[in-house]
Chains A and B, each alone.
Chain A
């Protein structure tokens, strides 16, 4: 799906300062070597299974299925992974790769804090230094995750520039990388940024769809009718889609954060409201004004609050292989509460965007249809914010 220069159709590429070019070339060469190295793969599988708790469950949500009265619903339980989200898959892969490359220090950006926590975790496990850049706004929204990262031995740097959210954390991590390359690997958390990151992160997250495929075939003897995941940069979504891309009968649905609605400025629905641009090392869709200034985006979910989307998603959209639909804050919060009450599972507010869309499309579907929703993370981190959204004065 990716050609040698890291393009997905017109998207992707390496739009970065010359200072970083040799670093991404070195990373690509190392990755091309290790991805086929049996020792590397054995070590990574060992970490996935023994440390992160893979394979994650594909759970038949029977009560939800009955209640909605349509398609059979399965939940891919990435929330049950160690550290509570899919982010650990990518981080274990990149940290192991960085270690093999002789790097001793990881830097990372984080939005909701899940990727930062995962990076801090891998750094602790592998004896590496870790510095996490996090928008100041997000350090407030996700104070508990800031503490977790510090507890794990990472340094958390609040980013005050711009909108003080995920995009600014990415910019600041990139700036840091240009100033210290020799011992440092930039552990990017999503399928974005310059080549080879979108490919590397996708490959490490593709374990999600590899497992879904095996698990659904074992349980149902056939492939699902649709796979639904939330999309910010798009790492859990591409991981959930990847092994189904060639199966044209499987609908692939990415749920974007519409915030207060795609007809407002307070949205982060990139495919639905953005246009093609060049930013953060890649050509893709971005929310921007007519002069190419990146728009300040908004979502209740810190993890989806990003003005761009990974280049492979932009390509899957262009060729019509995947659909990208907007889901509002209100719809996501309702789904968050619904899944908690119906199945006893509290999803991350990010993942709740995917649950919300499934709740819309499942009821009119025939009962022999199958939907898989990826629950990318658990929602403990969001409880205080959702309570406040509902008017309860709760603080962590």
Chain B
């Protein structure tokens, strides 16, 4: 197992998501540090994509702000290298297959290892297509994170058996975004996952309140929060890190 396992050694994991460069990389760096100081166990860093088909309006907006700000894959690698001087928690990239493919898969995945990125989440790379990047991820010791959805049903065991790092369990149908209620029968999905792997499992999509996070973490090994944090960036811009720190503190303490 890579470093990602460490994120799940400190009770239930709290996993915040941020889009790199929203609104600029300095703010992202400050936000990551604020999140880590306040208890984030693993940080999911989004590399913006022009057409993020798995995202709802909030994270779509973050992608656009970041790209308009001029962020590129190259700049994000330098940014993570610098962040790694003091940030020690596991970090993963969340982006789209074309960002990796167009950079040159080997060049991209080798660079991930160089800057100590521990894993890769690609929402448009299902089990059937993972051979696209898996051999290189293995070669460079970067975990290719598997996603399981409410519609996975007969596919859960197959995906879980080959999962690495952690499993990203999608809580609801649809795209990312804050939801008032999560109705999927996640407990039975987690049960099948547990029967097939010892890799930890965190739940994301739609989580914004401490109560939701606790409920999701009770069912699994952790909670992933994206849109609620991105909303703080949308609202407070370069002042957001302070608010993000406070928010992460509340969320992490709700989990324990």
What is the interface of chain B, defined by CB distance below 8 A to chain A? Answer: 49-51, 53-54, 56-57, 60, 67, 72-74, 96-103, 123-129, 132, 147-155, 159, 170, 173-175
**Complex formed: what's the CA distance from A353 to B67 in Å?**
33
Asked if B51 contacts A19 (CB within 8 A), the reply is no
Q: Is A101 an interface residue (CB 8 A)?
A: no
**Complex formed: what's the CA distance from A16 to B173 in Å?**
14
Considering the complex, which residues of chain A in the window 175-189 have a beta carbon less than 8 Å from any beta carbon of chain B? 175, 178-181
For B54, give the chain A residue with the smallest CB separation.
A17
Give the contacting residue for B103; candidates A280, A281, A292; CB below 8 A. Answer: A292
**Complex formed: what's the CA distance from A190 to B150 in Å?**
28
Asked if A19 contacts B67 (CB within 8 A), the reply is no
Total contacting residues, chain A, CB less than 8 A: 38
B46 nearest CB across to chain A (Å): 14
Asked if B67 contacts A293 (CB within 8 A), the reply is yes
Q: Is A171 an interface residue (CB 8 A)?
A: yes
**Complex formed: what's the CA distance from A180 to B174 in Å?**
7
* Most chain B C-beta atoms within 10 Å of own C-beta, residue among A5, A15, A22, A23: A15
Give the contacting residue for B129; candidates A14, A168, A180; CB below 8 A. Answer: A14
Proximity bits, A1-20, B CB within 8 Å = 1, else 0: 00001000000011111111
Taking A5-B128, A161-B57 as given, write out 8 further A-B residue pairs in contact, using a Cβ cutoff of 8 Å, ordered by the A residue number: A15-B97, A17-B147, A22-B155, A161-B60, A178-B174, A179-B174, A181-B173, A278-B96
Asked if B127 contacts A175 (CB within 8 A), the reply is no
A103 nearest CB across to chain B (Å): 15
**Complex formed: what's the CA distance from A288 to B53 in Å?**
16
* CB<8 Å pairs between A and B, sample of 27: A5-B128, A16-B126, A17-B54, A17-B124, A17-B170, A18-B127, A18-B152, A19-B149, A19-B174, A21-B128, A21-B155, A175-B56, A179-B174, A179-B175, A181-B173, A275-B102, A278-B98, A278-B132, A279-B51, A280-B53, A281-B124, A283-B101, A286-B98, A290-B102, A291-B99, A291-B102, A294-B98
Q: Is A363 an interface residue (CB 8 A)?
A: no
What is the interface of chain A, defined by CB distance below 8 A to chain B? Answer: 5, 13-23, 161-162, 167-168, 171, 174-175, 178-181, 275-281, 283, 286, 288, 290-294
| Chain A neighbourhood of B125, CB < 8 A | 15
Asked if B124 contacts A16 (CB within 8 A), the reply is yes
| Chain B neighbourhood of A18, CB < 8 A | 123, 126-127, 147-149, 151-152, 155, 159, 170
| Chain B neighbourhood of A20, CB < 8 A | 151
Asked if B54 contacts A294 (CB within 8 A), the reply is no
Asked if A14 contacts B126 (CB within 8 A), the reply is yes
B145 nearest CB across to chain A (Å): 11
For B101, give the chain A residue with the smallest CB separation.
A278
Asked if B124 contacts A15 (CB within 8 A), the reply is yes
| Chain B neighbourhood of A13, CB < 8 A | 128-129
B170 nearest CB across to chain A (Å): 6
B254 nearest CB across to chain A (Å): 27
